[in-house]
């Protein structure tokens, strides 16, 4: 069975949980405690030398990085969905996977992590980049339902999660009208699963 090395509050892990659910795939969630540094043990680093969650294990193959896992799962199990066909559309999906790996992480995810996990770092800089990310998404979504083509793709999942969670970092994505409509569109997809609720007192 597919194993997901998983951390409940990680948005990167949640990207993978979402696609596994959309694809109707059963999997075993192996909890990795970040506070206990279980992502830095020799055994974990042998799977992912970056020491980050998530990692996917499937039939002896180990895939790290949420974008790579989304791509792998869609290619292997997507039956032609989640990865639009054609050279240009494939290139556009890759644009958004890079955006999810870089700008969304250093903007939206970082703004959230600095508040939620009380990490050290520049909150203003992270929020400014988060706002720039939301601006770019909002502009691109003008007149579009999905980031690439006319159906939801791994590009949407990769960008959705931290766009949806950035309010926990003090930036409200719902003030960006096209982003707000797109977040709602993702959340209305059959099989959508939300993040686990935070402990009371957080949001």
Which residues contact its own copies by CB under 8 A?
49-50, 61, 63-65, 67-69, 71-72, 75-76, 87-88, 90-92, 94-95, 97-99, 101-103, 105-106, 135-136, 139-140
- Distances in Å between the Cα of 181 and the Cα atoms of 36, 132, 151, 160 are 38, 18, 15, 12
| Residue number, 14 or 92, with CB nearest to its own copies | 92
| Residue number, 7 or 58, with CB nearest to its own copies | 58
Question: What pairing do the DSSP bridges indicate for beta strands 2-6 and 55-58?
Answer: antiparallel
Cβ-contact 159, 99 below 8 angstroms: yes
Q: How far is the CB of 170 from its own copies (least distance, A)?
A: 22
Q: How far is the CB of 139 from its own copies (least distance, A)?
A: 6
Q: How far is the CB of 162 from its own copies (least distance, A)?
A: 13
| Residue number, 46 or 197, with CB nearest to its own copies | 46
The tokens 């520049």 sit on which residue? 122
| Residue number, 102 or 175, with CB nearest to its own copies | 102
d(CA 169, CA 160): 15
Q: How far is the CB of 81 from its own copies (least distance, A)?
A: 15
Q: How far is the CB of 202 from its own copies (least distance, A)?
A: 26
d(CA 198, CA 116): 10
| Residue number, 7 or 65, with CB nearest to its own copies | 65
Question: What three-state secondary structure class fits 3?
Answer: strand
Tell me the longest C-alpha to C-alpha distance in the chain.
48
| Cα dihedral sign, 131-132-136-139 | positive
């Amino acid at each position: 069975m597919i194993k997901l090395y998983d951390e409940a509050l990680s948005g990167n892990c949640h990207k993978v949980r979402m696609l596994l659910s959309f694809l109707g795939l059963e999997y075993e969630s192996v909890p990795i405690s970040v506070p206990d540094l279980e992502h830095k043990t020799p055994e974990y680093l042998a799977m992912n030398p970056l020491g980050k969650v998530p990692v996917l294990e499937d039939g002896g193959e180990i895939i790290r990085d949420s974008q790579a896992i989304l791509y792998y799962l869609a290619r292997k199990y997507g039956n032609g969905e989640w990865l639009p066909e054609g050279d240009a559309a494939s290139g556009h999906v890759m644009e958004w996977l890079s955006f999810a790996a870089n700008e969304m992480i250093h903007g939206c995810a970082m703004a959230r992590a600095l508040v939620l996990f009380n990490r050290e770092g520049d909150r203003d800089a992270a929020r400014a980049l988060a706002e720039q990310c939301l601006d770019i998404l909002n502009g691109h979504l003008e007149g579009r339902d999905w980031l690439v083509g006319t159906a939801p793709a791994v590009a949407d999942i990769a960008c959705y999660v931290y766009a949806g969670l950035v309010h926990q970092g003090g930036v409200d994505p719902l003030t960006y009208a096209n982003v707000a409509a797109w977040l709602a569109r993702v959340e209305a997809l059959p099989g959508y699963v939300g993040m686990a609720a935070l402990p009371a007192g957080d949001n």
